[in-house]
Structure 1
Amino acid sequence: MTSSLNRPALTLEESIRQLYNRVERQTIGAASSETHVIASDRRIVVVARGLPVVRNADYEQALRTEFAAELGCRIESLRTRVSLSDDEKMEIFEIGRPLH
């Protein structure tokens, strides 16, 4: 049995990537094959590749709800499903407090 003390702590970006992929799996049934996160001050940018851009009302609501709960703050604005190519999208979160 591995103790959590022996595992390295996740970076903020890695924690956000895992959260994002979990929301994808819960709402659309699959997760992107590549997910990159940039988190700075009050902004989080997620670029995900490997799934087509899906129009799903539950998806945006789940992103808002899950990210707010995990980060402990309000999501001020969210731009979702910004299509970069056929299988690449970007999500931009503005949150209610600085990340660091």
Structure 2
Amino acid sequence: MRLYPAAGLQIRDPITHAVIPASGVEVPDRNGIPASFYWQRRLRVGDVTRTPPAATPAAPAKASGASPAASSATVAATPSPIPATPAAATTAEQAHA
């Protein structure tokens, strides 16, 4: 069975301690289930997949005329996280909670 790392993750082989390549690694299996508990765990939590990664197209080049104001507007439009409780809004209130 061939297992591939999930997008953006670097997974190490438990025997060689080498990072497995994006092209995947061949692991022994029993009836479609990895024989090793290590690989079973990695598969269950989603660190590796049975399907090869999709070929991603190259990112388009940024326009050289892009203004820095446009990127800061995007940051300003991102909402800030809301505290879980109203009491957690300030540090002084957290100390007395």
**What is the TM-score with the length of structure 2 in the denominator?**
0.20
Larger Rg: 2
Structure having the higher helix fraction is 1
Structure having the higher strand fraction is 1
**What is the TM-score with the length of structure 1 in the denominator?**
0.20
